[in-house]
Amino acid sequence: MNIAIIGLGLIGGSIAKDLSSQLNVHVIGVDLNELHQKQALELGLVHRLMDLDEAISACKIIIIAVPVDKIEQLLPTVLTKIDDDVTAIDVGSTKAEICRIISNHPKRNRFVASHPLAGTEFSGTMAALKGLFQGKKNIICESEKTDVDALEISLKIFESLGLTTSFMSAEEHDKHLAYVSHLSHVSSFMLGLTVLDIEQDEKQIFELAGTGFASTVRLAKSNPKTWSAIFDKNKTYVLEALDSYILHLQHFRDHIAAQDTSATEQLMARSNEIKRILK
């Protein structure tokens, strides 16, 4: 079976790495970046490289793993070019706008809108990891608009990567991810920036950084291009989550300013409930 993977960064490269080690799978890599092409071959992520049109002709499965703004540009073209028995799967971190853009496409039924919930703060082909998806969750949105055979083959592929799939609407996906993933990234990026900015006056400040800071700011190492696209494509819910976060911070700030320690203590005690979720 030939599988094309378009975009050989962290996610596409990791999918390629796992699939290329499976029997009877021939992985075709597509990437405009020549360095990524070279690295993908050297790391053995893909069996060969092709350009987009060649790959579309050669494969019944096309996995699109480019940044979410690029998915929007690429997906309609891919759907237009594929035959009726080809399945196109995207693995982007936002879903509503992507689904909206191809909602009236004549080949909408060949498309599987998915999001494997995995990643690291690193990016690029060299960051590809074997087993990245093992034990993780995958979301498929609007499955009712996808042909059963396309859905079935996608589920098999995700299962072979170690993912367990659940189903929800694209809006529900985007709202939830805004809170449990995208907001964490904004929070971390801006924490990094706040401390870097004060560092201009206080040179040795990082001498004192401990493991707590490291953990909270880890996501600030993530790829800016990937994340500017995600925040933009999930603007409505990211803003909703971020505004709520800013309000919570301001509220807490005011209690500190008023030296109301019983109020800050109470709010933190409520936040402690997060232990229930993070075992």
For 6, half-sphere exposure in the C-beta direction (CA atoms, 13 angstrom radius) is 26
Binding region for its own copies (CB under 8 A) out of 28-36, 97-105, 154-162, 204-212: 204-212
Among 19, 28, 86, 177, which residue sits at the site for its own copies (rule: CB under 8 A)? 177
Structure tokens of 224? 């800016």
Smallest gap from residue 109 Cβ to its own copies (A): 26
Q: Which of 171, 11, 33 is nearest to 89 (CA)?
A: 11
Smallest gap from residue 149 Cβ to its own copies (A): 27
Residues 225-264 that bind its own copies (CB under 8 A): 225, 227-229, 231-232, 235, 238-239, 241-246, 248-250, 252-253, 256-257, 259, 261-262, 264
Residues 117-176 that bind its own copies (CB under 8 A): 117-119, 121, 136-137, 139, 166, 175-176
Contact status: 215 vs its own copies (CB under 8 A): yes
**Secondary structure (3-state) at 62:** strand
Cβ atoms < 10 Å from Cβ of 42? 10
Instruction: Pick the closer one to its own copies by CB: 88 or 178.
Output: 178
Smallest gap from residue 76 Cβ to its own copies (A): 20
Interface mask (CB under 8 A) for its own copies, residues 66-105, using x and -?
A: ---x------------------------------------
Q: At what angle do helices 10-20 and 34-42 cross, to 10 degrees?
A: 30
Binding region for its own copies (CB under 8 A) out of 19-27, 29-37, 78-86, 271-279: 271-279
List strands edge to edge, sheet with 48-49.
48-49, 26-30, 2-6, 61-64, 87-90, 111-116, 137-141, 164-168
73: left (phi over 0), alpha (psi -120 to 50) or beta: alpha
